[in-house]
């Protein structure tokens, strides 16, 4: 085997430029795979994490008849005594925060301008509201006893030309089907860097939201954040045993999960195309080497080298090209992810409806992805060298010696 390794090195060194560019082609292919996988992983991770933190939580406790598409405010569709339930859930060791939330629909207006709104009634003191509290860019956050203040997202502020301290009119649907209207003060303007969420979501203190919607002592849901996503199924099972209607983040984000499955299917096809291109380069390189070294192969056969060893000689060459390509690919791929993450990819208002994707997408490189893609690229490169190796092993000594005369 040592002799084959030396011969393979010498053969690749005869045409260093071609060998380098062949390994480079494999490396570029792997680098593209690593970057694509990291971007997809970052985008889907951002969508799922954003949905959990901003909108759905890990778990929600709701009334069985609640319809989130209509933001129903009928008392029979809401959770009674939500503070008591949230307090009991918060005592579980896996739970980070549990808080009631009330959802309503309406519109906000100032002067002759208006915009649709999703109203969130929240307990301002809950840890679950940290993403909004930390996103304040102007003014201040709400307090539990505030009866005249609200929070608006930066897109709403930009659209209606509002600043912290300005007065706005808020019209909200109520439990009996009427519309309640009141003038509020913009306490603060927030940004979660997620346009699809910030463009319509308005926050009120829970007590005020309950009063204006006439849903006293009721909430749409009990919003639950866990210390780790892996606790979801266990905590959900424990809550279901108490007779509560429980939905996990998977139940609440079916569109995101379906899109992730579809994206992985399409990206797999793209992986195959890229690997096929890299494999074709290796096949072409080694076939050229076979024809250039036909006489050499004939001499080796004439002096007694078996066809199996000749085949192994070319497989060893493809092995070195694969190793070189993988090393180059890892270096280029990691560098590409690093450069991509310096500024990310800004999508802004191009985000898909129903997706909590941040305005700027960043790539997320995992060791598992890098190892799997490297192994896949290595195997494909080795397999690409199999045909030229078989072709070389089947050359007859007499025909091979005559070929270059």
Beta bridge partners of 360: 346
Count the neighbouring beta carbons within 10 Å of the beta carbon of residue 378.
18
Q: How far apart are CA 94 and CA 188, in angstroms?
A: 32
pTM of the model: 0.77
Residues whose CB falls within 8 Å of the CB of residue 81, separated by 6 or more in sequence, listed in order: 217
- DSSP codes, 7-35: HHHHHHHHTHHHHHHHHHHHHHHHHHHHH
Q: How far apart are CA 273 and CA 286, in angstroms?
A: 20
- Provide the terminal-to-terminal Cα distance of the chain, rounded to the nearest Å: 31
- List the one residue out of 313, 336, 328 whose CA is nearest residue 278: 328
- Can you read off the two tokens belonging to residue 2? 């040592």
Task: Indicate the length of the chain as a whole number.
Answer: 405
Q: How far apart are CA 224 and CA 235, in angstroms?
A: 10
Q: How far apart are CA 37 and CA 375, in angstroms?
A: 14
DSSP H or E stretch at residue 114: strand 113-122
Q: How far apart are CA 170 and CA 119, in angstroms?
A: 10
Q: What is the pLDDT of residue 215?
A: 92
- List the one residue out of 334, 290, 342 whose CA is nearest residue 311: 290
Q: What is the pLDDT of residue 129?
A: 94
Q: What is the pLDDT of residue 405?
A: 46
pLDDT along the chain (405 residues), means of 10: 64 73 87 90 84 92 83 87 92 94 93 90 94 94 93 94 94 89 95 90 95 92 94 89 80 81 78 82 73 60 65 79 91 94 79 66 89 90 78 58 50
Q: How far apart are CA 252 and CA 369, in angstroms?
A: 27
Q: What is the pLDDT of residue 149?
A: 94
Q: What is the pLDDT of residue 196?
A: 85
């Amino acid at each position: 085997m040592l002799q084959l390794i030396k011969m393979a090195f010498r053969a690749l060194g005869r045409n260093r430029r071609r060998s380098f560019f062949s390994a480079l082609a494999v490396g570029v292919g792997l680098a593209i795979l690593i970057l694509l996988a990291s971007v997809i992983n970052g985008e889907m991770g951002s969508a799922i994490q954003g949905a959990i933190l901003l909108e759905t939580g890990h778990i929600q406790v709701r009334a069985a008849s609640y319809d989130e598409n209509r933001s129903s405010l009928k008392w029979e569709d809401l959770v009674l005594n939500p503070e008591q339930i949230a307090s009991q859930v918060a005592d579980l060791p896996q739970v980070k925060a549990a808080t009631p939330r009330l959802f309503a629909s309406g519109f906000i207006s100032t002067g002759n301008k208006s915009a649709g709104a999703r109203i969130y009634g929240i307990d301002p003191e809950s840890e679950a509201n940290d993403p909004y509290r930390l996103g304040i860019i102007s003014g201040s956050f709400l307090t539990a006893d505030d009866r005249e203040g609200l929070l608006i997202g930066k897109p709403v502020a930009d659209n209606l030309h509002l600043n912290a301290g300005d007065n706005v009119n808020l019209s909200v649907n109520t439990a009996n089907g009427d519309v309640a209207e009141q003038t509020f003060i913009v306490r603060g303007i927030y940004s979660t860097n997620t346009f699809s969420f910030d463009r319509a979501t308005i926050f009120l203190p829970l007590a005020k939201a309950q009063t204006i919607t006439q849903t006293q002592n009721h909430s749409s849901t009990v919003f639950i954040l866990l210390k780790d996503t892996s606790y979801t199924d266990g905590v959900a099972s424990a809550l279901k045993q108490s007779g509560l209607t429980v939905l996990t983040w998977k139940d609440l984000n079916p569109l995101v999960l379906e899109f992730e499955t579809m994206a992985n299917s399409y990206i797999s096809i793209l992986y195959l195309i890229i690997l096929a291109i890299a494999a074709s380069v290796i096949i072409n390189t080694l076939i050229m080497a076979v024809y250039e070294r036909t006489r050499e192969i004939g001499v080796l056969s004439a002096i007694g080298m078996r066809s199996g060893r000749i085949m192994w000689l070319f497989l060893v060459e493809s092995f070195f090209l694969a190793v070189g390509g993988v090393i180059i690919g890892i270096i280029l791929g990691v560098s590409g992810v690093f450069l991509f993450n310096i500024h990310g990819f800004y999508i802004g208002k191009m985000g898909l409806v129903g997706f909590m994707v941040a305005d700027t997408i960043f790539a997320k490189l995992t060791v598992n992805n890098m190892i799997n893609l490297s192994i896949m690229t290595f195997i494909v490169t080795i397999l690409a060298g199999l045909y030229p190796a078989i072709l070389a092993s089947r050359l007859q000594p007499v025909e091979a010696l005559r070929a270059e005369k």
